[in-house]
Chain A
Amino acid sequence: MNRVLTRDLLGRWLALGFRLYLGGVFVYASVYKIGYAAEFAESVASYQIIPALAVNIVALVLPWLELICGAMLVLGIRVRTVSAMLGAMLVVFCVAVAVNLVRETPIDCGCFHALEERMSWKTLVRDLIWLGMAVHVYFFDSPLALERGLDTKVKEMDQ
Chain B
Amino acid sequence: MDSDADGTGRGSVRAPGPAISHAHGPGTVPGSTNPVPNVDSALGQQRELDRKRLHLHVLLETSRELSGMLQPRAILETFLLTAMGPLGAVRGVAVLARPGSAQGLVASRGLPKADAEALEGRLPDICDLYFPYRDALAGSPAAKVRVLARGKVHGETPPPGGESILPAGLDILLTWGVDEEHCGLLALGPRLVAEQGQASGGAAGQDSGLDSGLDSGLDEDAADLLQNLVHILIDTLRGALAVNSIRQLSNDLTRQNERLAEALSASQSAQRGLDRRVFQLAAINELAGELSNIQAVREILDRFLLTMLGAFGAASGLALVLDRAAGSVSLALRGATDPGLAGYEAADTLVYKAFAGSGVRSVAPLTVGTLADPATALKGGGLPFAPSAAVYFALSPQVQGVLVLGPCIAEGDGADTGRAAQANVCLGEADQQLLRAQVAALLGYVRGARHLETITALNADLTRHNEELTRTITELTEARQTIVLLERAGERVRAFLRNEAERSRRFSWLNCGVILATATLLALLFNLASPGGMSLIPEHLRQPPAKAVSAQKARELVETEGALIVDARPQAFYDQKRIRGAVNLTPALFDMGYLMRFGQMPLETPIIVYGGNISRRWDQEVAARLLAREHERVLVLDDGLAAWSGRGYPVEP
Contact = CB atoms under 8 A, between A and B. Distances in A.
B515 A81 contact: yes
B524 A68 contact: no
A56 B497 contact: no
B481 interface: no
A139 to B, nearest CB: 11
Interface string B529-549: 010111111100100000000
Contacts of A107: 572
B534 A52 contact: no
B504 A49 contact: no
A80 B507 contact: yes
A158 B588 CA distance: 63
Main secondary structure of the interface of B (DSSP, over half): helix
Nearest to B618: A45
Interface stretch (A4-12, A14-22, A58-66, A122-130): A58-66
Chain A CB within 10 Å — which of B490, B516, B530, B617 has the most? B516
Contact of B523 (A46, A51, A63): A63
A57 B526 contact: no
A17 to B, nearest CB: 19
Interface in A37-54: 37-38, 41-42, 44-53
A64 B614 contact: no
Interface size class on chain B is 35 or more
B616 A52 contact: yes
A34 interface: yes
Contacts of B506: 80-81
Contacts of A31: none
A151 B505 contact: yes
Contacts of A41: 534
Contacts of A46: 570, 615
A55 to B, nearest CB: 5
Contacts of A154: 494, 497-498, 501
Nearest to B535: A56
Given A37-B533, A150-B497, A154-B498, A49 B615 contact: yes
Nearest to B522: A64
Contact of B519 (A37, A53, A65, A78): A65
Contacts, number: 126
B504 A61 contact: no
A58 B541 CA distance: 17
| Most chain B C-beta atoms within 10 Å of own C-beta, residue among A47, A68, A141, A148 | A68
A153 B537 CA distance: 49
Contacts of B573: 105-106
Given A64-B526, A79-B504, A56 B538 contact: yes
B267 interface: no
Contacts of A85: 512, 515
A25 interface: no
Main secondary structure of the interface of A (DSSP, over half): helix
B508 interface: yes
Contacts of A102: none
A47 B523 CA distance: 21
B532 A44 contact: no
Contacts of B497: 150, 153-154, 157
Nearest to A151: B501
A46 B524 CA distance: 22
Contacts of B490: 157
Q: Which one of B524, B534, B535 has the highest number of Cβ atoms from chain A below 10 Å of its Cβ?
A: B534
B503 to A, nearest CB: 8
Contacts of A34: 523, 526
Interface in B484-532: 490, 494, 497-498, 500-501, 503-508, 511-512, 515-516, 518-520, 522-524, 526-527, 530, 532
Contacts of B523: 34, 60-61, 63-64
B50 interface: no
A72 B508 CA distance: 14
Given A51-B614, A78-B511, A154-B494, A106 B575 contact: yes
B576 interface: yes
A68 to B, nearest CB: 5
B613 interface: yes
Given A37-B527, A107-B572, A150-B497, A80 B536 contact: no
A111 interface: no
Contact of B536 (A44, A56, A105): A56
A34 to B, nearest CB: 7
B501 A78 contact: no
A81 B507 contact: yes
Interface in B599-631: 613-617
A48 B614 contact: yes
Given A78-B508, A154-B497, A55 B532 contact: no
A74 interface: no
B622 to A, nearest CB: 15
A79 B505 CA distance: 7
Contact of A53 (B498, B501, B541, B572): B541
Nearest to B587: A42
A148 B497 CA distance: 11
B495 to A, nearest CB: 9
B534 A147 contact: no
Contact of A48 (B519, B532, B538, B613): B613
Nearest to A105: B573
A79 B588 CA distance: 41
Interface in B349-400: none
A91 interface: no
A77 interface: yes
A43 to B, nearest CB: 10
* A41, A49, A60 pick with most chain B CB within 10 angstroms: A60
Contacts of A158: 494, 498
A84 interface: yes
Interface in B32-91: none
Nearest to B612: A52
Contacts of B614: 48-52
A131 interface: no
Given A37-B533, A80-B506, A154-B497, A64 B520 contact: yes
Contacts of B537: 53, 56
A97 interface: no
Contact of A68 (B500, B504, B519): B519
A82 interface: yes
Nearest to B499: A154
Contacts of B570: 46
Contacts of A49: 614-615
Interface string B557-593: 0000000000000101101100000000000100000
A113 to B, nearest CB: 16
A69 interface: yes
5 contacts: A56-B536, A69-B515, A84-B507, A105-B573, A106-B576
Interface of B: 490, 494, 497-498, 500-501, 503-508, 511-512, 515-516, 518-520, 522-524, 526-527, 530, 532-538, 541, 570, 572-573, 575-576, 588, 613-617
**Shortest 6 CB-CB distances between A and B: which pairs?**
A151-B501, A106-B572, A147-B504, A45-B615, A64-B519, A65-B519
Given A80-B504, A81-B507, A158-B498, 11 more contacts: A47-B615, A51-B615, A60-B534, A61-B520, A64-B518, A64-B522, A68-B522, A81-B506, A85-B512, A141-B505, A157-B494
